[in-house]
């Protein structure tokens, strides 16, 4: 049976949202769950849902937690500390020692990355792990990596992202020969920053379906399944995309609120349809981004995750476990 360990102190609304998402996942999917965090708070939260008494959920107490206030130096120190008592470290150690198959957290992204990296180590042959969220596109979705772990990248890093991203999408999403592009400021080969131009020929040599440069609009149009980029560009892309979507929905809401009676009636009639649009573009449907390149399965979600996002993050982690994606990555990196 697949066992997923969840940092119950992760989301902005911990542990309520995290525990609720876990209960939903335990009811819907066939898996064992371990919740790590303040035992008393977690028990109280579970107890408030009486019907859940017999779910396959185990609690492991963690007296401390990492927050947005922990600075980089603290995080590194705590990540390295053998007997760290925070929920992330204890949860990740359960993956390390084989008690759990994958780790999920909606906590501080930097904290989750640093703690995973120091406690699990890197996959053999990987220079730097990459965080890989899913972008909604015109035709479905696209895995973009890296989006923040590495603001400065070398060609080698992008090559590793391409291999890992391609295998992840093939195994976990079930896409045959996923199209892999490198994010650039023009489609033609030869366009791009010096990093892109140096990386391009290396990607051509790989045993992946490399389709060349892809522009920001190409990613959103769904031209590729995997888009590789340095963490700086990826981060700016992700945050711009999220903000534009929000800007547009805010403007629509505002215009409806300020409109005349007919506009308001139109708004009411369209509400369910706009809900469908929101759902189609909702990151909570994907739940969390895999941190590819650490020696273990790690999924990091938005701090603003709701219970549904936590549930989906657990589902995606379970799928990653059951498709043996980590072993496939190991093999591909050795062959490289």
Enumerate residues 6+ apart whose C-beta is below 8 A from 169: 143, 175, 178, 225, 226
Count CA atoms closer than 13 A to 165's CA, side-chain side.
34
Closer CB to a second copy, 47 or 270, in the complex: 270
Regarding 219 and contact with a second copy (CB under 8 A), the answer is yes
Tell me the per-residue interface mask from 302 to 331 with a second copy, x by CB under 8 A, - otherwise: ------------------------------
Nearest C-alpha neighbor of 134 from the set 309, 279, 278, 288: 288
107 by DSSP, 3-state: which? Answer: coil
DSSP-assigned letter for residue 123: P
The residue within the footprint of a second copy, chosen from 27, 28, 47, 244 (CB under 8 A), is: 244
Regarding 217 and contact with a second copy (CB under 8 A), the answer is yes
Closer CB to a second copy, 55 or 245, in the complex: 245
Least gap, CB of 76 to a second copy (angstroms): 15
Enumerate residues 6+ apart whose C-beta is below 8 A from 129: 113, 116, 117, 122, 123, 149, 291, 292, 293, 294
Least gap, CB of 20 to a second copy (angstroms): 27
In the chain, what is the straight-line distance between the N-terminal and C-terminal CA atoms, in Å?
32
Helix axes 307-322, 16-28, angle to 10 degrees: 50
Nearest C-alpha neighbor of 234 from the set 289, 296, 276, 187: 289
Closer CB to a second copy, 192 or 296, in the complex: 192
The residue within the footprint of a second copy, chosen from 27, 48, 127, 255 (CB under 8 A), is: 255
The answer to whether the CB of 116 falls within 8 A of the CB of 296 is yes
The residue within the footprint of a second copy, chosen from 24, 183, 208, 294 (CB under 8 A), is: 183
The residue within the footprint of a second copy, chosen from 64, 99, 242, 282 (CB under 8 A), is: 242
The residue within the footprint of a second copy, chosen from 248, 324, 331, 335 (CB under 8 A), is: 248
Regarding 243 and contact with a second copy (CB under 8 A), the answer is yes
Alpha helices, H only, 29-129:
39-47, 72-80, 87-96, 109-120
Regarding 73 and contact with a second copy (CB under 8 A), the answer is no
Nearest C-alpha neighbor of 128 from the set 104, 99, 103, 151: 151
Tell me the per-residue interface mask from 16 to 35 with a second copy, x by CB under 8 A, - otherwise: --------------------
Binding site for a second copy (CB under 8 A): 136-138, 148, 151-152, 183-186, 191-194, 196, 215-217, 219-221, 229-233, 235-252, 255-256, 259, 262-263, 265-270, 272-274, 276-277, 280-281
């Amino acid at each position: 049976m697949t066992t997923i360990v969840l940092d119950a102190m992760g989301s902005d609304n911990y542990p309520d949202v995290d525990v609720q998402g876990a209960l939903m996942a335990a009811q819907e999917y066939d898996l064992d769950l371990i919740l790590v965090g303040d035992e008393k708070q977690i028990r109280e939260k579970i107890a408030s849902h009486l019907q859940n008494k017999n779910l396959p959920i185990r609690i492991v107490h963690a007296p401390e937690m990492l927050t947005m206030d922990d600075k980089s130096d603290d995080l590194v120190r705590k990540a390295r500390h053998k007997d760290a008592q925070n929920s992330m470290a204890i949860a990740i150690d359960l993956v390390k020692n084989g008690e759990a198959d994958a780790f999920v957290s909606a906590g501080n992204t930097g904290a989750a990355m640093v703690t995973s990296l120091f406690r699990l180590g890197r996959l053999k042959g990987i220079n730097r792990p990459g965080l890989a969220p899913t972008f909604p596109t015109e035709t479905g979705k696209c895995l973009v990596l890296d989006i923040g772990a590495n603001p400065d990248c070398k060609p080698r890093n992008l090559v590793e992202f391409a291999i890992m991203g391609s295998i992840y999408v093939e195994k976990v999403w079930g896409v045959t020969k996923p199209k892999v592009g490198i994010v650039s400021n023009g489609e033609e080969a030869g366009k791009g920053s010096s990093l892109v131009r140096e990386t391009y020929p290396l990607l051509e040599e790989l045993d992946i379906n490399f389709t060349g440069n892809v522009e920001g609009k190409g990613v959103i149009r769904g031209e590729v399944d995997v888009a590789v980029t340095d963490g700086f560009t990826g981060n700016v892309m992700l945050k711009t995309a999220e903000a534009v979507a929000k800007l547009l929905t805010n403007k629509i809401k505002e215009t409806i609120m300020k409109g005349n009676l007919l506009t308001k009636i139109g708004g009411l009639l369209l509400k369910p349809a706009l809900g469908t649009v929101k759902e189609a573009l909702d990151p909570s449907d994907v739940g969390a981004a895999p941190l590819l390149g650490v020696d273990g399965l790690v999924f990091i979600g938005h701090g603003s995750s709701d219970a549904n996002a936590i549930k989906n993050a657990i589902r995606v982690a379970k799928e990653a476990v059951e498709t043996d994606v980590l072993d496939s990555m190991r093999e591909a990196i050795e062959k490289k």
